[in-house]
Structure 1
Amino acid sequence: MTPEPRELASVASPSHPFSGSYDPADVTFLLKPVRLAPTPVAEKERLIQSGARHYSEMISAEKLPSAAYLEVFRRALARNKARFAADVLTLAARLAERPGGVTLVSLARAGTPVGVLLARALHAPHYSVSIIRDRGIDEVALRFILERHPAASVVFVDGWTGKGVIARELAKAVAAFNARTGAGLDGGLWAVADLCGAAAVAATADDYLIPSAVLGATVSGLVSRSILNADVVGPGDFHGCLFLREFAPHDLSRAFVDEVFAAMTTPTPPAPIDAAGLRQRSAAFLAAVRDRTGVRDENHVKPGIGEATRVLLRRVPDRVLVRDQASPDVEHLLVLAREKGVPVEVDAGLPYAAAALIKELDG
């Protein structure tokens, strides 16, 4: 897979949609491209943990992957493409059973490639919107969608769950929105991999490497994670993002979904998911980590390959836990940990393939 030179879609005006580096037929980002000075990762961590700033008010500069890391991504895609494609197709088959059509609303950014693939499979409209822990979902975006599509058709999709924080945030925010507006949206989350029993529907509960989890903007339409800072996002605006045009020569967003979509031929055989058991497993894991490490804030414990990757890419990691250091699915975590000098601990009893802890700062 090599980046192809393409003309980028025009950037949105403050409350108008755009498509990032994707084909406009694949997704409409309901995000406002903004300019915001980057906050160094260590300073951002200090401000978050001190309570001085919410994480959504700041963003650190995203870096392009190293050559070694990019090669790990290519191997991960070759190895797990068929599994990921089959799982997405399983979700598509379930969605196709719904009466009255589907309007896909992916949670940016991890949900965006999944939404693109589902939209192609179902020939359905697809919007990608912001949801932020402790701040809720972008209601300006919800109103935009509901002006154009029936509420009964809206389905929220994401790549995976970790502890279920975003799934619960979604359910809470949509319930509050419904109570105020009478919209009647379903706040259940559809996910490819549900590790903690928080999704309404999922293709699997396995903690395997979803290939798009390895990268950031260059596999997500060249958009950053979402931003909610009153200096750049007004009351009538969509939540913000950075549009990283400078990464265009390295962009794999279209190539990634093209390659996975071509592999979407056979869905994963249906298998029951024990949501209650997954919730118990998640709670037991968090309790064990607290007892073992003394971590004070559950937000600093990130179970699962996808969440562990985010910690290494965006936060100040304390350590990485892996169940099997020889597993190809954690190879990228070992590369990142080596590049950043983060200790790796092997725990054969880990209920997930990997997890990461954010370093707790004093003061």
Structure 2
Amino acid sequence: MLNNLHSDKTPLLGSYCAEDCLFLLKNIEPKFYTIEDKERLIQTGAMHYSEMVNQESAPSQQYAELFLNLTEQYKNRLAVEVLQLAKKIVENRDGDICIISLVRAGTPIGVLLNRAINEYGEVNSLHYSISIVRDKGIDENALDYLIYGQKIKPESIVFVDGWTAKGVMTEELKKAVQHYNARRNLNLSEQLFVISDIGGTADFSATFDDYAIPSALMNSTVSGLISRSVLNDQIKADDFHGCISYSHLENCDRSNWFVNQVTDCFKLSDFQTPLQNESLSAKKRQSMTRNFLQEIMQKHHVSNKNRIKPGIAEATRVMLRRVPDLLIVKDKLNPSTIHLLKLAIEKNIDVVEMNEMPFGACALIKDVK
């Protein structure tokens, strides 16, 4: 019975081509919540964050231009980091590779890694993007579809995300994979590969630096026009996790443009340059993150650390998708945080400079209870 599991399911394409990314998600009927209502329902415990999405709108012209400028500024750096991480993936697997990126932050990075491996890795690579939800685990139906439906070898699977922050999703992934392995009597690797490991919790990363990975600036318009994954009452026991397709944003979609911009910077010499082993730095990053969270909780009287989002990428998500209370930046002149300052002005959010913090930025979510 297991061998035929989910063989009839059809992946979603999003706005990427099939060779770049297939989403193992179920398109569901949209029920949109305002950002304010969503925040209140999350904080009062009335609903889990994964049950709700808000309608996304097109970025302002000024913000879109900022994204284009930051892509121009950082695409060469990101290309080098993608190639070095791709080489590390190839070295840690024997034979062909199946990249599983975590929707959505991991999706464009998964596309780039898949291209890099297929071009330079001398092995074949496939890329699927699947859902993982804090407190609820990974989409086991999606894993079943790959392993039993598509006959993907478990030892070929590699989990990819864009970055780490506090390490919540790293911990969720490891716990979820252990649970899945126990249920299915498998030995999937729980290793996580990311570009920027600012929290020091990933197994492999290209950098510990907190900088503006350009794809972190946008929502669906740089992630195949797909929403964050949804896990509500429309999702039945044998379904993939859900999503909304934001087709109304097709005219401002930059998903393929972005990955093409980075791919055009790929060079074989960068793929051949090994990553440095910085395990001591990872431990140091973990310690710095813990200390920073404690300091912020005390200084700003925050009782729930889920309301603290350290790192430029996570701060950007708060400014775009949550109800921000305060933006903290290391340096107001840092080009990587210009977009955050613009969003703070748009939303009338106070900005504090904190030169000694170990991140480029941190956003606090407002207590709306």
TM-score (structure 2 length as normaliser): 0.92
How much does 1:24 deviate? Answer: 0.9
How much does 1:101 deviate? Answer: 2.0
1-structure distance, mates of 2:312, 2:329 = 9
Post-superposition Cα deviations, 1:68-99, rounded to whole Å, max 9, x if no partner, equal 10011011001111111111111111112121
Residues 89, 174 of structure 1: alpha-carbon distance in 2 compared, 3 angstrom cutoff = same
* Aligned: 1:142 with 2:137: no
Q: Which residue of 1 aligns with 2:132?
A: 131
TM-score (structure 1 length as normaliser): 0.94
Within the candidate set 171, 183, 187, 1:168 is matched to: 171
2-structure distance, mates of 1:132, 1:36 = 19
Q: Which residue of 1 aligns with 2:255?
A: 253
- Preserved contact between residue 88 and residue 274 of structure 2 (Cα < 8 Å): no
1:69 is paired with a residue of what secondary structure? helix
* Aligned: 1:99 with 2:86: no
Q: Which residue of 1 aligns with 2:4?
A: none
RMSD: 1.2
1:17 is paired with a residue of what secondary structure? coil
* Aligned: 1:338 with 2:333: no
- Preserved contact between residue 165 and residue 198 of structure 2 (Cα < 8 Å): yes
Does 181-190 or 307-316 show the bigger shift?
A: 181-190
1-structure distance, mates of 2:340, 2:188 = 37
2-structure distance, mates of 1:245, 1:358 = 29
- Preserved contact between residue 57 and residue 249 of structure 2 (Cα < 8 Å): no
- Preserved contact between residue 85 and residue 275 of structure 2 (Cα < 8 Å): no
* Aligned: 1:290 with 2:297: yes
Within the candidate set 38, 42, 49, 2:36 is matched to: 42
1:99 is paired with a residue of what secondary structure? coil
Within the candidate set 224, 236, 243, 1:221 is matched to: 224
Q: Which residue of 1 aligns with 2:357?
A: 350
Q: Which residue of 2 aligns with 1:53?
A: 47
Q: Which residue of 1 aligns with 2:275?
A: 270
2-structure distance, mates of 1:264, 1:63 = 32
How much does 1:237 deviate? Answer: 0.7
- Preserved contact between residue 18 and residue 24 of structure 1 (Cα < 8 Å): no
1-structure distance, mates of 2:28, 2:345 = 33
Gaps of 5+ in 2: 1-7, 119-124
* Aligned: 1:121 with 2:116: yes
Within the candidate set 228, 236, 242, 1:234 is matched to: 236
Task: Name the amino acid aligned to 1:339.
Answer: E
1:91 is paired with a residue of what secondary structure? helix
Within the candidate set 177, 181, 188, 1:185 is matched to: 188
How much does 1:36 deviate? Answer: 2.1
* Aligned: 1:65 with 2:66: no
2-structure distance, mates of 1:18, 1:107 = 15
2-structure distance, mates of 1:200, 1:271 = 13
- Number of aligned residue pairs: give it: 348
2-structure distance, mates of 1:149, 1:336 = 43
Give me the identity figure in percent: 45
How much does 1:138 deviate? Answer: 0.4
* Aligned: 1:153 with 2:156: yes
How much does 1:60 deviate? Answer: 0.9
How much does 1:15 deviate? Answer: 4.1
Task: Name the amino acid aligned to 2:262.
Answer: V
* Aligned: 1:281 with 2:288: yes
Within the candidate set 197, 202, 207, 1:199 is matched to: 202
Post-superposition Cα deviations, 1:264-291, rounded to whole Å, max 9, x if no partner, equal 2225663332221111011001001011
Post-superposition Cα deviations, 1:279-334, rounded to whole Å, max 9, x if no partner, equal 10110010010110010111110010000000001000011110010111001111
- Preserved contact between residue 104 and residue 125 of structure 1 (Cα < 8 Å): yes
2-structure distance, mates of 1:18, 1:56 = 19
